Every structure is written in C-alpha cells, then in structure tokens.
C-alpha cells in the first residue's frame, strides 16, 4: 500500500483532509503532520525520511494568505522545510483553508450561509463574516464541522481553483 504524507499548517487543515480526502484515498495509507509549530530543521528531517522510503509521497499544504503570488508563497514554504523540497510537492490553498470548506457547501444549506459563486478569495475574516449569524451558538470550528456534514466534492471543484488543482494532483477526479 502506498503511503501519502500530508503536511498541514494546523488543526483546521487536518480536519478538512480527514473528512474529505480519507474516504477518497482508501487505497493509501495516510499520515498527517502539522508543520507550522515545527522548526525548519524538524520539517527537513521529516521530508528527508519520507524521500528515503520507497512508495512514499508527500504534499505540503499552505494557505496563500496575503502573499501576492503563489510562487512567492511556495518559496516561503520551502524556507520552512528544506531547499531541496521541489515546488511540485507544495499545494497553495487560495486564499485560506476556509475557502475550501465553503467551496463544497450547497447554495441551499441548513446553515443558511450564503456561499459565493467562487471561493478563491475567501479568507478567515470573510468566512467568519459569512458565518456570523451562527457564531452566537457555535464556534468557528463547530461551524466548519457542520459544513463538512453537507460538503459536496463536485460543487467544491467548480468553486475553488486551488482545490480543483489539488484534487486532480492526487488523481481523485478526471480533468475538467
């Protein structure tokens, strides 16, 4: 069985991967590593160890945040790991993981969140604003978990370019 390591920034990314990707990648053994709190040396050690294992693949997910270009953000990620990390192993989430959460939420949803036609520019603040009416009863994490209960891959692939790229990079869907 092939092994895939996903390096993610934090808990929201980890939850997203577990809830959306694990069911699609049943033929793989998957490990998630949260890298944001690690030193560059520790991240580099992980990558070197993975490279030395046969049948192992790794992908590093990073929010684009407010960095103007994807290549600039990839360079920042490389600095948090190892100069030998190849750019093809880095996937930049536009703009933040919250955009991927929203991308798969149907227009008519029980959460009554109005989802934009494209989520490519949704950041944490916009996500919080769209879900503001729910925040009296739920935390943002609880809202994200509720979104995943209604999440739709097909819709998500149409609404977010970076998620579409990521899914196709993993070979989950035919090219659109």
Q: How many domains does the chain have?
A: 2
Structural domain for 51, as ranges = 2-93
Shared-domain flag, residues 17 and 75? yes
Residue pLDDT, tens place only, 45-82: 999 999 999 999 999 999 999 999 999 999 999 999 98
Shared-domain flag, residues 79 and 117? no
Shared-domain flag, residues 8 and 89? yes
Residue pLDDT, tens place only, 121-158: 999 999 999 999 999 999 999 999 999 999 999 999 99
> Is 158 among the domain residues?
no
**Three state DSSP letters for 129-155:** HHCHHHCCCCCHHHHHHHHHCCCCHHH
Shared-domain flag, residues 14 and 34? yes
Residue among 123, 118, 106, 126 at smallest CA distance from 159: 118
Of the three residues 52, 73, 93, the one that is the final residue of a domain is 93
């Amino acid at each position: 069985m092939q092994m895939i390591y996903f390096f993610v920034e934090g808990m929201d990314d980890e939850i997203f991967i577990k809830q959306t990707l694990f069911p699609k990648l049943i033929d793989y053994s998957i490990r998630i590593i949260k890298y944001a709190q690690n030193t560059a040396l520790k991240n580099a050690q992980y990558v070197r160890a993975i490279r030395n294992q046969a049948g192992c693949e790794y992908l590093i997910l990073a929010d684009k945040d407010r960095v103007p270009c994807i290549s600039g953000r990839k360079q920042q990620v490389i600095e948090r790991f190892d100069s030998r990390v190849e750019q093809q192993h880095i996937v930049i989430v536009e703009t933040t993981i919250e955009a991927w959460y929203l991308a798969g939420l149907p227009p008519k949803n029980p959460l009554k969140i109005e989802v934009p036609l494209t989520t490519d520019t949704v950041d944490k603040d916009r996500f919080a604003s769209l879900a503001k009416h729910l925040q009296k009863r739920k935390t943002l994490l609880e809202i994200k978990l509720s979104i995943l209960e209604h999440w739709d891959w097909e819709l998500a692939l149409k609404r977010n370019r970076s998620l579409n790229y990521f899914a196709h990079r993993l070979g989950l869907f035919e090219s659109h």
